[in-house]
A and B are shown apart, each in its own frame.
Chain A
Amino acid sequence: MQRYSLLKVMGQALRRNIGWQPAWRDPQPQSGYDVVIIGGGGHGLATAYYLAKQHGVRRVAVLEKGWIGGGNSGRNTQVSRSNYFYPVSSAFYDHSLKLYEGLGQDLNFNVMLSQRGIISLAHSEHDLELNRRWANAILMNNVDSEILTPDQIKRLVPILNLHSRHPVIGGFIQRRGGISRHDAVVWGYARAANALGVDIIQGCEVTGFDISGGRVRGVHTSRGRIGGDRIVMSVAGHSSVLAGMAGLRLPITTMALQAMVTEPVKPVLDAIVISAAVHAYVSQSDRGEIVIGGGADVYNSYAQRGGLPLTRSTLAATIELFPCFSRLRLMRQWAGAVDVTPDTSPIMGLTPVPGLYINCGWGTGGYKAIPAGGDTMAYTVAHQRPHELIAAFGLDRFAKGALIDEGAAAGVAH
């Protein structure tokens, strides 16, 4: 792997940038691998990277039906945070945030992490009560969290209108929360995994599983059969369709989660602002675009485009909170097919089919979990038992009634 550094950039600049190598190979699929990962998003690539780096499993393939990072990994709003209510969730997501904090160095790829703080707004006494309970629970989980007064919020976000139709009467902040560049996270993991020998095979769609003798033996794909007795499904919104090919039914509903960006402007907003009551979250990217995350359309959808009624209500709420954005032009609006579970917690670990593993159910918040998702799934596949951080997130929790209801802690109304 060509190491990236300031010296390298300067050297290449003097040689007219003709010496850069492709960041990853474009290999032909081999007939078999030790581990086959289906889905070349952040979670799949991170799983491959940690398998090769920490567990010495080098014969790994990542199969992606389109191009890597073309699904939800390239459609999210880039937020990382760990302000969750339940201890099992907090432990998992804080592990992820800590990995994000060292990710640029680890991957030798600048993921542009900016820990600018994430502010959740309270619009009523009831919101404020819940915010206090929430902030205290987060502190009890050993994660940073601070209650803010309206004056403190105004100092952090001067352009916020505190006296709109949704008056702001307080809130709380996780100062370690932040944004990073989602393409860089995908490309960084792909490049580092490739350097460790992982085959990243794009344009390769899985069409079925080869299951015999009570366990999985490989996958059938648009580019032929690929053998492997350990297979990880990491395909977000398409999890039900893929798991169905192995005869599994999942507690998942696929919905279209919307996001949109405005034209780029000079820096005006250096925090992430979330309003649960109006279901909008707003930040400004390094390119200057205002990134607005909305809710999910209420009906099942694989369409990867959002409906206009929800776009309109998200924008109306955003403009109430930030009146100075009203004259900005919207550049793009899109949706990702997200996999929502009944308790809005992920499903990770083993499945009833021996050799087949699952990592899905991230719903509206998979991006922040990429490093820990990859790390814990790699451990789970290498040791063939769940990592302790994800033991509570197994597919078997539904029949046991051991749900982890993070519906409120997703930071938005569901």
Chain B
Amino acid sequence: MLRISCPYCGLRDETEYVFGGPSHITRPAPEVSDAEWADYLFNRDNPKGVHYERWQHAYGCGRWFNVARNTATHEILAVYRMGEPKPVLATATPPAAAREASR
């Protein structure tokens, strides 16, 4: 069970939220090539590690926000509002510490 801190309501269970996929994807201009348009529509970074993603507090305030989360450990590294830039994460969490934290 993830526990996510909504920037507006505070710490709540995963079941109150809806996942919205990766953040910071910008739609290219309509005149780009098919390959660039397909890259925008379909290709994803899908990292093993820090993933910047959108969540909606659907069964709470209903508002959208961003989360930086480690996809290998599920550790939540940062929560920030829509429109804000990607946070600079000081250090990548060493796996051992993350394992400790997820216990």
Contact = CB atoms under 8 A, between A and B. Distances in A.
B43 A307 contact: no
Contact of A307 (B1, B37, B42, B51): B1
B49 to A, nearest CB: 8
A240 B46 CA distance: 6
A114 to B, nearest CB: 36
Nearest to B1: A308
Contacts of A398: 38, 41-43
Given A238-B48, A309-B14, A309-B15, A251 B43 contact: yes
Contacts of B69: 299
Interface string A289-314: 00000000011111100011100000
B84 interface: no
B38 A303 contact: no
A302 B1 contact: no
A300 B73 contact: no
B19 interface: yes
- Is chain A's interface secondary structure helix, strand, loop, or mixed overall? mixed
Which of A307, A309, A342, A398 has the most chain B CB within a 10 Å cutoff? A398
Nearest to A342: B42
Interface in B1-54: 1-2, 13-15, 18-19, 21, 34-35, 37-39, 41-48, 51, 53
Given A300-B51, A307-B1, A307-B14, A253 B46 contact: yes
A398 B40 CA distance: 11
A260 interface: no
B38 A240 contact: no
Contact of A249 (B18, B34, B37, B45): B45
Interface residues of B, number: 28
B57 to A, nearest CB: 14
A203 to B, nearest CB: 19
B46 A303 contact: no
Contact of B44 (A252, A302, A400): A252
Nearest to B48: A302
B48 A299 contact: no
Contacts of B1: 307-309
A112 interface: no
27 contacts: A240-B44, A240-B46, A241-B47, A249-B43, A250-B43, A251-B43, A251-B44, A252-B44, A252-B46, A254-B48, A254-B71, A299-B2, A299-B53, A300-B46, A301-B74, A302-B48, A302-B71, A303-B71, A303-B72, A303-B73, A303-B74, A307-B1, A307-B2, A398-B38, A399-B34, A400-B34, A401-B38
Given A309-B14, A309-B15, A398-B38, 10 more contacts: A240-B46, A250-B46, A252-B44, A254-B46, A300-B53, A303-B74, A307-B2, A309-B1, A399-B35, A401-B34
List of 7 A-B pairs having minimum Cβ-Cβ separation, nearest first: A251-B42, A240-B46, A399-B38, A249-B43, A298-B19, A299-B19, A302-B48
